């Protein structure tokens, strides 16, 4: 089948790669020239420096004959003549902290698409004035892949109908991918959700996802498009609820009372099958492009429809409270004065295995450090420093380092903000330091070395633990 993707971000690029690997002919359109060049480079390392997603570079290289990236909309218009499906993979960021989604990227793309669809299958013998309208003989489905408001299917249809687009359907096909494991999750999904009104649309989507439709290991779910859109928002709300409840209640309890080890409490709770084990790790913040935005969007949509959303709002507040509490413990627990201090910040991506810094806790940490007149900050992340530099350029105060050891040099406080596995080995490197900086472990990644570090003379602030004072 011929499939067009509009938007080559995390969702668009990964979905396009999977479609190409399934044997479909794929065109990906984006307005970001640098991104298009990097993703179409045919070089794995170049691709992964753009989107650090395990397996994406290899898959795009292997399927380069079936996937094309373009900046040229004329190429899109040509492709639409024989196109079976158009996947809308546009960013829908939150407007401030209102919960309302900024749909301008989507609407701009949809309106431009409507004009192009109107002209598809234009006959050379057309008698239409200026040949503005084609025959539109080829049926096409417009697929909302982005996370959008529940009633977005109606708005998409209105845009198409307003200009006279014919022979089309609108489908909701939300993605439930985990960043860092998106390719693996796409190849072996637990579910594929298709929302449509017409059997014709379901039929096309079954052909696109033929490899999963009859798979005994995949739940292939067909519902209406509003149910599909709502399912994505509600899934992310529930995931956020589990994460944030874990550290705002369970973790906070372990910080409050002596002799409670978070890992032991977690072991007791997760052996209950009713509770399950996903999301039971303590952290300084739940970041990324989805969870925070989607719980706020759900709240906004509920409230604008006249429904109380106090529980949803409290989950959002609990997330902010966690990061604020973590930072404030330096002064409250350790009596630490940030003024003129040297900081080592380890981790800038919002989590491991990605170079995505959207809603990364390190952004708020950097803003806090800048407001508190620190003496300097050394920063290291194995994948995300390029994007972080765009937000916080290198300066007399801000320095980017090539490894953990350089980052730790002459620091007064170490902040571990991302759960990169390599940071688990920091214990010995810290013990070898000539000084004893305050350790702030926002991921409990050094919990297996806390006792050793205390005996070596370190004070430790860790999510899920009371203040751990030096035993030296």
What is the pLDDT, as a whole number, of residue 121?
84
Question: Token pair for residue 62?
Answer: 């292997």
Instruction: List beta partners, residue 94.
Output: 101
* Closest CA relative to residue 374, chosen from 400, 413, 321: 413
Half-sphere exposure of 24 (CA within 13 A, CB side): 27
Query: What is the rounded distance in angstroms from the CA atom of residue 297 to the CA atom of residue 316?
Result: 11
Residue for token digits 């959303």?
309
CB 45 within 8 A of CB 67: no
**Strand ranges of the sheet holding 413-416, from the earlier edge strand across to the other edge:** 398-400, 376-380, 342-346, 413-416, 438-441, 460-462
* Closest CA relative to residue 210, chosen from 18, 9, 11: 18
Half-sphere exposure of 254 (CA within 13 A, CB side): 22
CB 319 within 8 A of CB 246: no
What is the pLDDT, as a whole number, of residue 88?
98
What is the pLDDT, as a whole number, of residue 134?
82
Residue for token digits 């991918």?
177
Element (H, E) at 70: strand 67-70
Query: What is the rounded distance in angstroms from the CA atom of residue 285 to the CA atom of residue 246?
Result: 11
DSSP-derived secondary structure letter, 95? S
CB 27 within 8 A of CB 75: yes
What is the pLDDT, as a whole number, of residue 34?
95
Q: What is the CA radius of gyration of the chain?
A: 25
How long a stretch of residues is the chain? 472
Question: Token pair for residue 325?
Answer: 């509490």
Average pLDDT per run of 10 along the chain, which is 472 residues long?
96 95 97 96 94 94 97 96 97 91 96 95 55 82 95 97 96 92 90 97 97 94 98 96 95 97 97 93 91 94 97 95 97 98 98 95 98 98 97 98 97 98 97 97 98 98 98 93
Tell me how crowded residue 79 is: count the other CB atoms within 10 A of its CB. 21
Contacts of 255 (CB under 8 A, 6+ apart): 463, 464, 465, 466
What is the pLDDT, as a whole number, of residue 178?
87
What is the pLDDT, as a whole number, of residue 356?
95
Sequence-ordered strand ranges (E) for 392-447: 398-400, 413-416, 438-441
| Helices vs. strands in the chain: H and E counts, helices first | 20, 14
Query: What is the rounded distance in angstroms from the CA atom of residue 286 to the CA atom of residue 431?
Result: 29
Contacts of 171 (CB under 8 A, 6+ apart): 85, 141, 142, 143, 144, 194, 195, 196, 201, 205, 225
What is the pLDDT, as a whole number, of residue 129?
46
CB 106 within 8 A of CB 90: yes
pTM of the model: 0.91
What is the pLDDT, as a whole number, of residue 290?
87
With both helix axes pointing from N to C terminus, report the angle between 310-334 and 361-371 in degrees, rounded to the nearest 10.
50
Element (H, E) at 69: strand 67-70
């Amino acid at each position: 089948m011929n499939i067009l993707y509009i938007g080559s971000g995390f969702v668009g690029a990964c979905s396009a790669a999977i479609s190409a690997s399934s044997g479909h002919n794929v065109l990906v359109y984006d307005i970001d020239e640098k991104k298009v060049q990097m993703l179409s480079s045919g070089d794995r390392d170049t691709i992964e420096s753009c989107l650090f997603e395990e397996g994406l570079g290899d898959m795009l290289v292997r399927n380069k004959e079936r996937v094309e990236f373009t900046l040229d909309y004329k190429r899109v218009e040509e492709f639409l003549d024989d196109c079976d499906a158009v996947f809308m993979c546009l960013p829908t960021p939150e407007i401030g902290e209102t919960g309302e989604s900024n749909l301008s990227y989507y609407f701009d793309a949809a309106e431009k698409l409507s004009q192009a669809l109107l002209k598809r299958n234009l006959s050379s013998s057309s008698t239409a004035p200026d040949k503005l309208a084609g025959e539109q003989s080829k049926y096409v489905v417009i697929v909302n892949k982005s996370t959008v408001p529940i009633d977005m299917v109606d708005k998409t249809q209105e845009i198409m109908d307003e200009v006279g687009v014919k022979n089309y359907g609108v489908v909701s096909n939300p993605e439930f991918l985990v960043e860092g494991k998106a390719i693996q999750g796409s190849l072996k999904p637990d579910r594929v959700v298709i929302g449509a009104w017409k059997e014709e649309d379901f039929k096309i989507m079954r052909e696109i996802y033929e490899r999963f439709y009859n798979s005994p290991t995949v739940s292939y779910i067909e519902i209406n498009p509003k149910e599909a859109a709502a399912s994505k928002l509600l899934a992310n709300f529930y995931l956020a609820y589990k994460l944030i409840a874990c550290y705002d209640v369970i973790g906070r309890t372990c910080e409050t009372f002596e002799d409670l080890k978070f890992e032991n409490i977690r072991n007791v709770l997760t052996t209950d099958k009713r509770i399950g084990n996903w999301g039971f790790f303590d952290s300084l913040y739940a970041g990324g492009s989805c969870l925070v935005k989607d719980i706020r969007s759900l709240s906004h949509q509920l409230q604008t429809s006249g429904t109380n959303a106090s529980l949803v709002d409290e989950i959002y507040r609990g997330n902010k409270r966690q990061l604020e509490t973590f930072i404030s413990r330096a002064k409250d627990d350790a009596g630490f004065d940030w003024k003129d201090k040297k900081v080592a910040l380890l981790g800038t991506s919002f989590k491991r295995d990605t170079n995505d810094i959207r809603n990364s806790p390190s952004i708020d940490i950097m803003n806090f450090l800048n407001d508190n007149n620190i003496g300097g900050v050394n920063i290291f992340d194995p994948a995300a420093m390029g994007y972080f530099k765009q937000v916080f350029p290198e300066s007399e105060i801000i320095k980017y380092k090539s490894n953990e050891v350089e980052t730790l040099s002459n620091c007064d406080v170490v902040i571990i903000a991302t759960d990169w596995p390599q940071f688990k080995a920091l214990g010995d490197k810290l013990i070898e330091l000539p000084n004893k900086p305050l350790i702030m472990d926002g991921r409990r990644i050094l919990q297996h070395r806390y006792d050793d570090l205390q005996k070596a003379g370190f004070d430790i602030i860790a999510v899920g633990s009371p203040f751990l004072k030096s035993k030296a």
